[in-house]
Amino acid sequence: MLRFSYTAFNPAGRQQKGQIDALDIADARRRLRADGLSVSELKAVRFGSEKPDAASAIRFGRAFNKTRFFADLSVLMNAGLGVDQALRAMQGAASRAGDRQTIGTIIERLSSGATPSVALSSLNGLPEDALALISSGEHSARLPHVMKIVAADLEKRDAQRKQLIDASVYPLFLLVMMFFAIGVVTFVLVPTLEPIFESSGRTPPFIVALLSSLRGALADPATLFAIFASIIFVATFAILRPSSVQAAFAVVLLKLPFLGRAISQSALARYLQSLSLLLDNAVPLPDALALSARCCPAISFREKLLSMRDVVISGKRLPEAFTASGLFPRGVVSLVAIGDEVNKLPTVLDNAAGVLRSDAQRLTDLLLALMTPAITIFLGILIGGLVVSVMTALLGINELSIQ
């Protein structure tokens, strides 16, 4: 949830000022209109040092362990401490200056009148569904319990991320070794073989000629400048991440065979898991649908997922909204329909997320398993082809010298 300050006029024509918590500026405007107010000015509220410089934001975002933070916060709050008391205790116990400063920023925002969900939004990279859960805990007086759920969810995400990284280490190592081997052959072996063919007047084998051309191109300053400029360009886009580039890149990835399907199922699993957590903690269905859509990693899916909220608001059931989106498999839609009938949506959505996540993990494991032999075969063909072609040419030169 975000906080907005507003200036509006009530039905009697009197000016009224205040603040309101909402999902976004459109939601804030809608809530004010529902209260019979005519909005003349509406803007987001900023607390304390809301605008840190980019370098510090990146540094603290990387150094601060959000999973450990919420685990400690949930333990202290479930022991009976208030949010501010727990945060001050954690600030005093923090060993790193960066952690103390990050927690201090949250305490400062709380002291300025922000709710816990708004104050904790200063943490870089904290999912929106986690903030929505915290907001639901504020309204339902279950904040300590919700903090425990958020900590468990962040720990689960870290475990999934670690599992993917562990599975990718060996294929990535083979990729690095492949490029290293190609570099050794190109810059060490090929220059040794070239004089032999030049002195005999024989045409070098195709692979030798190809790698020789590659070495010449890489030795050209213009080529090196182009490569360096490309790296800077890609790195700049990776840091700034313009929305248009992100959307285009996401669309390309989703169209790739196998990989696109794995990404799609993983993104939809994240959406279903977020929706399950929010509904299980008394967040209204329209708000839960909007927040879960913004948490979906696949940017190209978000517009369709957000439209599901409008379908539900129009009076249709959730399974109909799932069907209208065209994103979910029939099995998932059937599960949602059953969960809606028996009033067990959170449990069913969590199970459906598990099914999609398992399918995505299976596809990912298959791709990673195929990557290892594919790299090995490619490298073997390259080196073997180079050896065979060079030896054939050398034998031909030897026959000519004997004649």
What is the three-class DSSP state of 20? strand
Rounded Cα distance between 157 and 270, Å, is 10
Q: Is 136 exposed, middle or buried (0-12, 13-18, 19+ CB in 10 A)?
A: buried
| Domain residue spans of the chain | 2-44, 54-154, 155-184+198-205+240-403
- pLDDT value at 49 more than 60: no
Rounded Cα distance between 281 and 223, Å, is 57
Banded pLDDT at 53 (limits 50, 70, 90): very low
% the chain with pLDDT above 70: 84
Cβ proximity of 245 and 236 under 8 Å: no
pLDDT at residue 401 in the model: 57
Residue type, 281: N
- pLDDT value at 56 more than 50: no
The predicted-structure confidence for 303-348, as pLDDT tens digits, reads as follows: 888 889 888 888 889 889 999 988 898 888 998 899 988 888 888 9
What is the three-class DSSP state of 5? strand
* Least confident among 26-40, 49-63, 343-357: 49-63
Rounded Cα distance between 144 and 148, Å, is 7
Query: Which CATH code is given to the segment(s) 54-154?
Result: 1.20.81.30
pTM here?
0.61
Residue type, 341: E
Identify the residue with better confidence: 95 or 238: 95
Rounded Cα distance between 397 and 13, Å, is 100
Strand-pairing partners, residue 44, are: 4
Residue type, 93: A
